[in-house]
Amino acid sequence: MSENYERIWKIVADIPVGSVLSYGEVARRAGLPRRARLVGQALGAAPKTLKLPWHRVILSSGRIAFSRGSAAYCKQAKLLRAEAVKIGDKGEVYAPTHTQTLDEVLWSPE
DNA sequence: AACATGACGTATT
DNA sequence: TAATACGCCATGT
């Protein structure tokens, strides 16, 4: 069901440089609550041509999802550091959570 | 249909 | 902080 994948990709694509979002948050914002794992699948299946900022998606615990030492871990840490984001020794990501876009603020219901 | 496996989340100890 | 447990959901066997 690539329909869901596209919703997820769109959310990820909108995460600003230097900020991050958890898998669960991305899922919720994509209108797919409780499907954090689907976000992981969507990112893994994302075409390279999309050039998604997948490295800005981390665990709700604020750490990088990959195991320390893995190639993927190093790549993500490197990409984040390239955005001036600090990474702790155990994979803690010191970056602000992307809350909402100006559009969402102005158009939010209520 | 049953079971295993993940780029997950939360609660508990 | 860490280990465990359990919930959750799409996919593949």
- What pLDDT was estimated at residue A55? 98
Strand partners, A94: A86
Nucleotides of B under 7 A from a protein CB: 6-10
Give dist(CA A105, CA A102) in Å, integer: 5
* pLDDT of the residue at A62: 97
pLDDT of residue A7: 97
Distance A76 CA to C4 C1' (A): 28
- Supply the pLDDT for residue A105: 66
Judged by C1' against the alpha carbon of A37, the nearest nucleotide is B8
Q: Which nucleotides of C are covered by protein (CB under 7 A)?
A: 1-2, 7-11
pLDDT at A103: 60
Q: What are the average pLDDT values for consecutive 10-residue runs of chain A, which has 110 residues?
A: 92 97 97 97 97 98 96 97 96 89 64
The predicted structure's pLDDT at residue A2:
80
